[in-house]
Structure 1
Amino acid sequence: MDENLSEEKLSTWAVAKSVAAAFFGVQSMKNRERDFKKGSFGQFLFVGALATLLFILVVWGAVLLALKLAGV
């Protein structure tokens, strides 16, 4: 079944892929339009906040690792 033709809401996986594409700035116009038509603000807010938190934790971990390897 084609996601673009169904009347169902977006799955959590589809929202996560869309948020990841938006983070990297590679979201297609077709997917953006699909997101606005079928996506729920709450879903995107939750997944976006989770992705942002994950990004912050990864950067924080990388900084701690770099400092440890530098002997600071």
Structure 2
Amino acid sequence: MDDSSQGKPPTFWQMLHSILAAAFGVQSGKNRARDFTHGKASHFIAMGTVFTLLFILLLIGLVQLAMHLTAR
């Protein structure tokens, strides 16, 4: 992102990007510093929890689909 957002809390999309990057372990130092300095932990915890639940539901759905397709 650009340097014009210095001092402002991260936007929803920046937080989503950080959550996804953290899930894959590829967060940049610049974004990590922004998140720790200007972001609220409660927002990241909430978004991380929602992401994790959606990921688990996706995996369950994929397993159910595979089980259905192999049961034919």
TM-score (norm 1): 0.89
Q: Please identify runs of 4+ aligned residues in structure 1 that moved more than 2 A.
A: 1-6
1:53 paired residue number: 53
Alignment of 1:32-43 (within 5 A): 32-43=32-43
TM-score (norm 2): 0.89
Structure 1: where are the runs of 5+ without partners? none
* Greater helix content: 2
Alignment of 1:1-72 (within 5 A): 2-3=2-3, 5-71=5-71
Tell me, yes or no, if the aligned pair for 1:9 and 1:39 is still in contact at 8 Å: yes
Root mean square deviation of aligned Cα: 1.9
Deviation for aligned residue 1:69? 0.5
Deviation for aligned residue 1:12? 1.3
Deviation for aligned residue 1:4? 6.2
